[in-house]
């Protein structure tokens, strides 16, 4: 008896950890350095990934020299560039279509948030208990 893809889909803490790790990996791919901590929360049609220690050494130097606004502008550009790839990662992990992706950063404290709104029509009964949250510490 073979299982279906839906039966093989990860859920709960394994899902939130996989989401957090995917966002860390993708961020590192685009910026050269990933955040040192990430926590994903999945609730109904919303996925939120909170990132800590996100800024690169160069970005921190710019902030120290009063250029935080430029760093925030650069971060928005990175987020725009990687939005499709991040959404694809979330779709693969959850099995649900991402309707919207929003992203924000904060300099002090050094935090980021990636927010994904999922299509409710792609939710299955089993997905309703996907999990509250999980942390990943890649370092």
Residue 5 has pLDDT above 90, yes or no: no
* Confidence (pLDDT) at 126: 45
Alpha-carbon gap, residue 127 to 122, rounded angstroms: 10
Split at pLDDT 50, 70, 90, the class of 124 is: low
Chain-wide mean pLDDT for the chain? 87
Alpha-carbon gap, residue 34 to 49, rounded angstroms: 13
Peptide bond before residue 21 is cis, with ω within 30 degrees of 0:
no
* Confidence (pLDDT) at 121: 82
The predicted-structure confidence for 64-106, as pLDDT tens digits, reads as follows: 999 999 999 999 999 999 999 999 999 999 999 999 999 999 9
Residue 63 has pLDDT above 50, yes or no: yes
CA 31 to chain centroid: 14
To 5 degrees, how large is the angle CA 54–CA 136–CA 139?
Answer: 65
CATH number belonging to the domain at 5-136, selected among 2.20.200, 3.30.980, 1.10.3470, 3.30.70: 3.30.980
Split at pLDDT 50, 70, 90, the class of 131 is: very low
Q: Can you tell me whether residue 136 is helix, strand or coil?
A: strand
- Which residue from 48, 26, 25, 24 is spatially nearest to 37, judged by alpha carbons? 24
Which pair of tokens denotes residue 18? 């996989």
Residue 3 has pLDDT above 80, yes or no: no
* Confidence (pLDDT) at 138: 55
């Amino acid at each position: 008896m073979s299982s279906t893809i839906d039966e093989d889909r990860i859920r709960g803490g394994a899902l939130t950890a996989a989401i957090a790790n995917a966002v860390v990996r993708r961020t590192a791919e685009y910026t050269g350095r990933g955040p040192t901590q990430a926590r994903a929360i999945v609730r109904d049609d919303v996925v939120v990934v909170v990132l800590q220690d996100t800024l690169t050494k160069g970005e921190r130097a710019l902030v120290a020299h009063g250029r935080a606004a430029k760093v925030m502008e650069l971060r928005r550009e990175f987020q725009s560039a990687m939005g499709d790839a991040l959404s694809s990662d979330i779709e693969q992990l959850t099995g649900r279509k991402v309707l919207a992706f929003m992203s924000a950063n904060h300099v002090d404290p050094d935090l980021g948030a990636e927010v994904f709104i999922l299509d409710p029509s792609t939710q299955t009964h089993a997905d309703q208990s996907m999990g509250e949250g999980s942390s990943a510490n890649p370092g």
